[in-house]
Chain A
């Protein structure tokens, strides 16, 4: 409460009666409508607490008069959105994959769905943007073991590589060293030859000897000049992209005791529409044929 209301001699106005170390404040009354407006906001706030969920308790909170819930509102919105999306996704499913690629609207939907599915399923091995890593193929590049056309990619995803599925793509490189097909010096020679194919080795007597061994053992799958054979899953040795590395040691290791990567058949885990979207997304990463 004010204690000593005085009249200010300079302005002729009253003080509020408060004093701080000799400083006094003039009474400048607030307009009453302002006070009422303030009261109205307080009433509004109280009403809001009654109408909407508000006061917390030990086991939950007051639900509000009309049971409004932001969670339910979001769920309803998401449902509405899904219903809206379903129309376009149905069209993606019903359209042949080559046709989807030519339709910008469907393509936008498919690649978005594909991007999400890729992040959820493919990223652990192939990398966030299909950049691959040693032993796991790069999908963003134009080098393909089993083919880079839409149908090829779709089939690879559906049935997998060396998966248990009967329609899986499978190729087996013989264990030339472990099974004793080639002796270590022969493996060394053929590796020298392969390094020349990689553009990293120089022609030498060993490489010439290796070329002969190559012609006898490798051309069936890798082709006469190492160009690869897709129908057999024989990788090209002329490409600059190498699944298991491009050093001489890596080549020797792969000839002696080859690693054989496995990709699961996704048809048991993903629906056909998602696989289609994935194929379109992977194709559009930049290397699609």
Chain B
């Protein structure tokens, strides 16, 4: 590329292709270590996220005898998600939808305010890559040492370091994959089973799978994931605007960059940038922030720390690379000052959506029913005439008992004259209400026969309401269905 840039004599097309290539080699990135506020914050988030991830499955939560004692447990076998004192059923899936929507809007809000903060600090790809880089640095040394050794011969000093590094990576990857499994099974039990070889096959399969992905993604793929695989960098442009705080090289202050003396009286006036490449050397994605906003930049701010170190050494003003907005920079370049625009229609809409979302979710959670009634009427026969001349309709009544004790539920009906009910045990009965017992934490399915002499049939059907009452808590639920009789279009 540099050759071409210098207007090299244009050779044949084929030669140009081979020089330029349709496929790019991987350029290895050797990030240098750095110190500063951004780095410190990145460490803090890393420690917090990883400790949460590895420790959470071991957190116990007493739910009483015979119930899972793990605070966070995705019990797929029993179709339950336990989250501290809340228990989600598969039919609560819309809470997950809500949580995902809130997560997405939060991401939009943060991005529109302070750029790709998620990518910079909290994304698992970033966190594990950072951890793996730290290990690499501990074993193989810092940037220059690593680059030198990689180019050198495969001697003992190189080989043992490579082996040690990959062993450490694999160890952490295995720990990561193992911790994943613990969210789906009781952590102490599954650990014991894993090491005694008695765990279920999926446990081993998934542990291996997540070990492999962690090792490959954090050890080998790294910035390639962000640049080539992740969709987020592609559509973040829709969230970022000229008022978003992003990692910015203040070109108006830094340019023209150069190594020379910075005496004001020299003819050739240089900017503050000493062109030391410190910002490039620390970048985990291997880019030059001085080229402006770019897709590869994850906004981590390590270049800010690196530049501040240099500026302090050269006795210049810090924050040549800083967090700033495009409009602010434009004003500064013209010697003006522009205030930050935190409150803009975009952020206000995101905040409104968030507040609304949290309110709806909070209300839904607070008023979450412990009881659920569903009634399915028989499709065939629609109705049956019985000996005494009354009509019988059959229904399948499903009662969800989300409490943790066996409970008696009373079912009653309204809307059909002279109606009585019978369970299948005693089909002769005509009871005004039925008492049905549902096991704790489960759905009871009952067949209920309703007898009646409907007088308000329209097109062969009239409304009937099933009412359900929990005899212990008094909680109620209703279900509207229909009672069928002759005269409907279907029966002609």
Q: Hey, which bits of chain A sit against chain B, CB under 8 A? A: 1-3, 5, 7, 12-14, 16-17, 27, 29-35, 127-131, 138, 140-143, 199, 236, 238-241, 284, 286-289
Contacts and interface: CB of A to CB of B under 8 A. Distances in A.
Given A13-B1, A14-B1, A141-B392, 19 more contacts: A2-B13, A2-B17, A3-B13, A5-B17, A14-B4, A29-B20, A29-B21, A31-B23, A32-B23, A32-B26, A33-B224, A35-B23, A127-B380, A128-B380, A131-B380, A141-B387, A240-B387, A240-B388, A284-B424
A186 B381 CA distance: 38
29 contacts: A2-B17, A5-B16, A14-B1, A14-B4, A29-B20, A29-B21, A31-B224, A32-B24, A32-B25, A33-B26, A33-B224, A127-B380, A138-B384, A142-B386, A143-B386, A143-B387, A239-B387, A240-B386, A240-B387, A240-B388, A240-B389, A240-B390, A241-B385, A241-B387, A286-B384, A286-B394, A286-B449, A287-B384, A289-B428
Given A284-B424, A286-B449, A288-B427, A29 B384 contact: no
A238 B387 CA distance: 8
A259 to B, nearest CB: 20
Given A14-B1, A31-B23, A288-B427, A127 B386 contact: no
A127 B382 CA distance: 12
A7 B388 CA distance: 95
Question: Chain B, interface size: which category?
Answer: 20 to 34
B421 to A, nearest CB: 12
A129 B378 CA distance: 10
Contacts of B224: 31, 33
Contacts of A286: 384, 392, 394, 424, 427, 449
A7 B19 CA distance: 14
A140 B427 CA distance: 11
A2 B22 CA distance: 11
A1 B381 contact: no
Contacts of A236: 387
Contacts of B17: 2, 5
Contact of B381 (A2, A34, A127): A127
B54 to A, nearest CB: 30
A288 B24 CA distance: 78
Nearest to A199: B389
A133 B388 CA distance: 19
Contacts of A1: 13
A131 B5 contact: no
B451 to A, nearest CB: 10
B228 A287 contact: no
B26 A129 contact: no
B214 to A, nearest CB: 18
A34 B20 CA distance: 17
A191 B131 CA distance: 96
A241 B383 CA distance: 13
Q: Which 8 A-B pairs have the closest CB atoms?
A: A131-B381, A240-B389, A29-B24, A129-B380, A239-B387, A140-B384, A143-B387, A32-B23
B474 to A, nearest CB: 29
B387 A29 contact: no
B5 A12 contact: yes
Given A1-B13, A286-B424, A27 B386 contact: no
A157 B316 CA distance: 103
Contacts, number: 92
A31 B228 contact: yes
A15 B165 CA distance: 40
Contacts of A32: 23-26
Contact of B386 (A3, A7, A30, A241): A241
Contact of A29 (B22, B386, B424, B428): B22
Contacts of A16: 22
A35 B22 CA distance: 11
Contacts of B4: 7, 14
B96 to A, nearest CB: 31
Contacts of A239: 387
Q: Which of B21, B228, B392, B427 has the most CB of A within 10 A?
A: B427
B385 A240 contact: yes
Interface string B380-407: 1100111111101010000000000000
A1 B17 CA distance: 10
A5 B16 CA distance: 8
Contacts of A138: 384-385
Nearest to A288: B427
A227 B394 CA distance: 27
A1 B388 CA distance: 89
Given A14-B20, A131-B380, A142-B427, A5 B13 contact: yes
Contacts of B228: 31, 34
B394 to A, nearest CB: 6
Contacts of A289: 427-428
A35 B228 CA distance: 12
A288 B426 CA distance: 9
B176 to A, nearest CB: 22
Contacts of A31: 23-24, 26, 224, 228
A209 to B, nearest CB: 26
A27 B385 contact: no
A142 B428 contact: yes
A14 B17 CA distance: 10
Interface in B1-54: 1, 4-5, 13, 16-17, 20-26
A130 B382 CA distance: 11
Nearest to A287: B427
A131 B389 contact: no
Q: Which of B16, B20, B384 has the most CB of A within 10 A?
A: B384
Nearest to B388: A240
Q: Which of B4, B378, B385 has the most CB of A within 10 A?
A: B385
Interface in B145-184: none
B212 to A, nearest CB: 15
A122 B391 CA distance: 23
A143 B385 CA distance: 9
A131 B384 contact: yes
A5 B20 contact: yes
A27 B19 CA distance: 13
Contacts of A238: 387
B475 to A, nearest CB: 27
Contacts of A17: 13
Contact of A30 (B13, B23, B385, B390): B23
Contacts of B449: 286
